[in-house]
A and B are shown apart, each in its own frame.
Chain A
């Protein structure tokens, strides 16, 4: 028993020593011993020893993370050719090594941090400092067109997996120094760099504090994608609705920053998170603003209509054909009845079969390699398509209902809410099969109750519509002309409401 206790005690001690900022030794040998025991069995960590004049030194770096050419030409060459003794080592390094990012650190922890992000360290005998060379370089993906958020009009740049490129893309749009980027490292093993971006003066500072607190709460092994962060910081984890938006477009992120929201960028993920969001911001696409406002408004209304279709069309069909046949005009009723003749299943079962088949097909096409994907869609089209109808398994109207539902769920510009819609369809079909339209209505009410309860970082999810703010419909149900957007959105932009000059309507000339 005591032995185990001792072991645990020792482990805790070791852990403590690692995490604590213990200073480097001034004997090179001690330092090298420490690092080589730490990086034991790590074939990619390179220890390169050399001499500066008569002093022994060593460079530690990780293969593939640093720019070796610079290391050879700018650092090693200069240092190895140096003969004279150095009085002030840091000063002379600064003068001899032509690298802009150069700093000294005193602790083992800081050394490890630098090595692991690709900055080699130089340890010199007799020095209690280590010198960090800022020459990290690793292969990154090129900036490409954002594949998940394409558009006809608008910039073609999308974020990449490298956070430095992403912050640069935002900086290139918002040039004011008020754009701030606060950095946090999350993940015990991954030490993922997470940046909170916001515009000072536009954003409510309590929001930034809240985000920081929620991020600091996260104590996990690793952060692999923004989704990890999203699930740890959202307000209502049991809701199917996304309470944080994500985007891979720098222009979308910038637009949100300008409306007083905050963005969270995660190293290793081309998707940045936006908070807080409302239900209506999930129905906004960047092109609504780039195109003329009449078209933007029309498309927005279309989206809301088809949101209703995507969630309720199958359940209304089931309710009407099961309970309220009198609702359908006679001719239509006859054609539905004749096509349903000989179908063995009740409408609710039929709807479930077809919706499940559709979802399965969609999921199968998503995860498979592209070559097989096309085969799946051919097979699926045959199964869900004509064959099922001809075989008398499902009726043709049901097929039409399922296809229209499928198409309408693609109208929503944000994928994450599309997932929620897919999920909600099934309980609705179920309740429609038992309580008819009354059941559909009650499930609609329950959905509204749920949405009313949701908050995203304190912002009511259905605001500004349900809180009946003045001008609530300006940028939610409709898209007013840009010259009418004089105020930032309520609650997020409340901190600094004025967005632009009044009377920017093109025909109104300013009086001289």
Chain B
């Protein structure tokens, strides 16, 4: 077994929560506002449907091939060579997506918090930290995630200080242009929810396999609630101007002023957002490392973590010349890209696996 550590179900929730939210609350609301307008608060609800679907696919595949990661069962489902090829594509996919996450992180920090610090320093420091955690193994990732997620989620409570500023009239008109704009907004959301496919790399290492589906569903639900709250606050405070901002969450937190003394929370919240990004990049790096190690049948994945981090660092700059390119990519390409790899392909594979099982039974 390549991973000796074992984690429990609640820890999985703690790992997956920031994995979706960390970048979701940053990049999506602005796109959401563009598409869905006054109805943006409900887009996560529809988007989360894909989350439930992905969790179900992962769980079903996990039931069919217990104690195996996707890289291992791909070979069983579509044959040795095709499976290997698919595994390789997934490894490259996760490396590239990790690069994009790192780039989102550095661009955000560079524009808002540390304008004079070179982006590469920020990228290297986060990747190094994540690599340390991944080298520690899944148990270390899980334990670190518990503390980081708790602190990260608790800082979201500063949004409560904004309650006096909300303007419910922004919620109207309801469904101004029908249901289509909501679906468009939800489409961006659902691609983020498809990242729940990462569960496939965690479920084989659960201490107790019972109830993993329930834990996954619960996590999707929590993510959905969090995104609704964030979207709701953005909509009711900024209104339609949210569409013109790169980081609407940052804008609303900037506007907090409490007792005339507690103001300019945005740096503190950004600092805590680093915790969330750390968990996110750790999970992606872990998935990429363990997938690559299993693809080449290495007997430990720890040795490839640092080289892999370096590759990811390259991917965070490769073909992303400037910030606008990244935004464009997130806006136009990423929704299709993420969902193809993390929901549609697994769904097809699941169908093949189920058919194989049925035919196999019939033949035997």
Contact = CB atoms under 8 A, between A and B. Distances in A.
Interface stretch (A183-191, A192-200, A460-468, A501-509): A460-468
A329 B133 CA distance: 36
A466 B143 contact: yes
B289 to A, nearest CB: 16
A436 B143 contact: no
Nearest to B151: A444
Contacts of A438: 109, 113-114, 122, 125, 270-271, 274
Contacts of A217: none
Give the size category of B's interface with A. 35 or more
Contact of A466 (B122, B147, B260, B268): B147
Contacts of B10: 468
Contact of A437 (B14, B121, B146, B268): B268
A439 interface: yes
B126 A453 contact: no
A445 B144 contact: yes
Interface string B256-278: 00001101100110111011001
A328 to B, nearest CB: 8
Nearest to B9: A468
For the residues of B in contact with A, the DSSP-based class is helix
Contacts of B224: none
Interface string B90-133: 00000000000000000001000110010001100110010011
A421 interface: no
B11 interface: yes
B148 A445 contact: yes
A446 B267 contact: no
Contact of A462 (B133, B143, B260): B143
Contacts of B113: 323-324, 436-438
A257 to B, nearest CB: 28
Contact of B278 (A440, A445, A467): A445
Contacts of B132: 446, 449
Contacts, number: 92
B136 interface: yes
A134 B14 CA distance: 62
Contacts of A452: 133, 136, 139-140, 143-144
Given A327-B264, A436-B114, A442 B126 contact: yes
A441 interface: yes
Contacts of B67: none
B117 A449 contact: no
A323 B129 contact: no
Given A323-B114, A324-B267, A326-B264, A441 B143 contact: no
B327 interface: no
B23 interface: no
A446 B133 CA distance: 8
Given A449-B129, A467-B143, A442 B136 contact: no
Nearest to B121: A435
B8 interface: yes
A448 interface: yes
Contact of A442 (B11, B114, B274): B274
Contacts of A323: 113-114
B147 A448 contact: yes
B274 A448 contact: no
6 contacts: A437-B270, A440-B271, A441-B271, A445-B133, A460-B143, A466-B143
Given A439-B125, A446-B132, A468-B146, 4 more contacts: A441-B272, A445-B148, A465-B147, A468-B14
Q: Which 4 residue pairs are nearest across A and B when measured between Cβ atoms?
A: A452-B143, A466-B143, A441-B274, A437-B271
